């Protein structure tokens, strides 16, 4: 029996986790998936009350006793420096060594395309975002803070091992999924250290003669993504660039309400989360789009070996979108729970 740790988190995270669990409960019973889960209240509320974001030893427990983590979102206007989000989400990504942040960007319905003449066929790519290094390591700090001489430094890390494993993951996935193109986004023209990315990409690409490997500077790729998204199948990039490019990817495919992600390492406990945050501007009103969480749940089901249930869920979500049974962000009029009911009905 697979065991899932559910961390709803804050705001919209709590609402979409509830929707995700409704769908998971249904699938678990109807398809006898044998899944069990436990809900953890890690988030701003607990952090503000106790000063502890994640109890000591918790990550080891997740690594040892759980097969997956299903995550909502963290972020709360009351925690000004976002410390608890880093201590929960980034700690999980780093300490579980989830080096692949897999973010599919796929248009669910032609109607949702923001681009003239681009539909489902053109808007379908995945991003392999490096997830354990880059500028996210917290190395650096401030000196003479608050004075005219203030200095602040943030160090970007790329290791040979870290770059190679994410680049390899991107090519392996492309090959396994019949994709013919892998693109690298770095900034080696301005950041000489990124030459490591360019070089490792070229080396790994040589092992995949059937896949067209193309190096891009991230700024140019960002523009091309908007003008000719059909030019991309798989994009591999650094942690920060991946963060930004996947929000562009979300924008191209219906917005953050539909963008899903999986944090993976074949030797660790994977974590699945929508790309969006706690959406404080709309949280608590019952209008948060649960679609990103449904697609995220499908990613988790596939990873846990339930490919058929995953595909059924994806089909149900697409059918609901096609029928206009959506929240306001997708031009619909339904609430979070009404969209959930619509997807359940199609299952
Ligand atoms: P956000 O993703 O929370 O919201 C950005 C915009 O998208 C908002 O207008 C919001 O209403 C909209 N949106 C997001 N999710 C939606 C959904 N499911 N349905 C409909 N609309 C949706 O990003 P933000 O406003 O930059 O950040 C808010 C907080 O969330 C911050 O504290 C941030 O650090 C945190 N955050 C957390 C995660 C995470 O936990 N994975 C991801 C991103 C941001
Ligand atoms: C994401 C988020 C996180 C990130 C934040 C909340 C730390 O934006 O998952 O995309 O930057 O990775
Ligand atoms: Mn982000």
Chain segment 258-308, per-residue pLDDT in tens: 999 999 999 999 999 999 999 999 999 999 999 999 999 999 999 999 999
Report pTM: 0.98
Domain 107-255 class in CATH:
alpha beta
- Which residues contact residue 158 at a Cβ distance below 8 angstroms, ignoring those fewer than 6 apart? 130, 133, 134, 193, 194, 196, 197, 238
Q: What is the pLDDT of residue 301?
A: 98
Nearest CA to ligand 2 atom 3: 243
- Site to probe by mutation for ligand 1, drawn from 14, 256, 286 as the one with most ligand atoms within 8 Å of Cβ, is 256
Phi, psi of 234 (to 5 degrees): -135, 130
- Three-state secondary structure call for residue 287: coil
**How far does residue 29's CA lie from ligand 3's centre (Å)?**
33
Ligand 2 centroid from CA 206, angstroms: 32
- Same CATH fold assignment for domains 1-99+265-347 and 107-255: yes
For residue 268 and ligand 1, the question of a CB distance below 6 A is answered with no
- The alpha carbon of 112 is separated from its chain's Cα centroid by a whole number of angstroms, namely 20
Are the C-beta atoms of residues 127 and 95 closer than 8 Å to each other? no
The pLDDT assigned to 286 comes to 98
SS3 of residue 218 by DSSP: helix
Domain residue extents for the chain: 1-99+265-347, 107-255
103, 278, 281, 295: which to mutate for ligand 1, most atoms within 8 A of CB? 278
CATH of 1-99+265-347, one of 3.30.750.80, 3.40.50.300, 3.40.718.10, 3.40.50.970: 3.40.718.10
* pLDDT of amino acid 3: 98
| Three-state SS annotation for 50-77 | HCCCCCCCHHHHHHHHCCEEEEEECCCC
Of 306, 336, 274, nearest in space to 18 by CA: 336
pLDDT, position 1:
87
Ligand 2 site, residue 130, Cβ cutoff 6 A? no
Nearest CA to ligand 2 atom 12: 243
Low-confidence ranges of the chain (pLDDT < 50): none
Catalytic center residues = 136, 187, 219, 243, 247
């Amino acid at each position: 029996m697979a065991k899932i740790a559910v961390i709803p988190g804050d705001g919209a995270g709590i609402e979409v986790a509830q929707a995700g669990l409704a769908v998971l409960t249904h699938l678990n019973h109807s398809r006898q998936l044998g899944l069990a889960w436990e809900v953890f209240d890690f988030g701003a509320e607990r952090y503000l009350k106790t000063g502890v974001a994640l109890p000591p030893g918790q990550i080891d427990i997740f690594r040892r006793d759980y097969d997956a983590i299903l995550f909502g979102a963290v972020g709360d206007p009351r925690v000004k420096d976002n410390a608890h989000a880093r201590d929960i989400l980034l700690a999980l990504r780093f300490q579980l060594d989830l080096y692949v942040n897999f973010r599919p960007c796929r248009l669910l319905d032609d109607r949702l395309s923001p681009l003239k003449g681009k539909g489902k066929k053109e808007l379908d790519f995945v991003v392999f975002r490096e997830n354990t290094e880059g500028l996210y390591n917290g190395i650096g700090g401030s000196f003479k803070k608050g004075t005219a001489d203030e200095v602040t430094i943030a160090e970007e890390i790329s290791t040979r091992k870290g770059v190679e494993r994410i680049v390899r993951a991107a090519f392996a996935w492309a090959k396994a999924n019949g994709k013919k193109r892998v693109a690298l986004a770095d900034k080696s023209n301005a950041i000489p250290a990124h030459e490591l990315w360019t070089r490792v990409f070229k080396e790994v690409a040589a092992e995949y003669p059937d896949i067209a490997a193309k190096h891009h500077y991230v700024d140019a790729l960002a523009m091309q993504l908007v003008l000719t998204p059909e030019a991309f199948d798989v994009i591999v990039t650094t942690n920060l660039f991946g963060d930004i490019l996947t929000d562009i990817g979300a924008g191209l495919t219906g917005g953050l309400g539909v963008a899903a992600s999986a944090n993976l390492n074949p030797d660790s406990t994977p974590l699945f989360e929508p790309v969006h945050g706690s959406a404080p501007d709309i949280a608590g009103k019952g209008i948060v789009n649960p679609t990103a969480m449904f697609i995220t749940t499908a990613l988790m089901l596939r990873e846990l070996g339930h490919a058929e249930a995953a595909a059924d869920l994806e089909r149900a979500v697409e059918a609901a979108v096609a029928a206009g049974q959506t929240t306001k962000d997708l031009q619909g009029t339904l609430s979070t729970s009404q969209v959930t009911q619509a997807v359940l009905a199609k299952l």
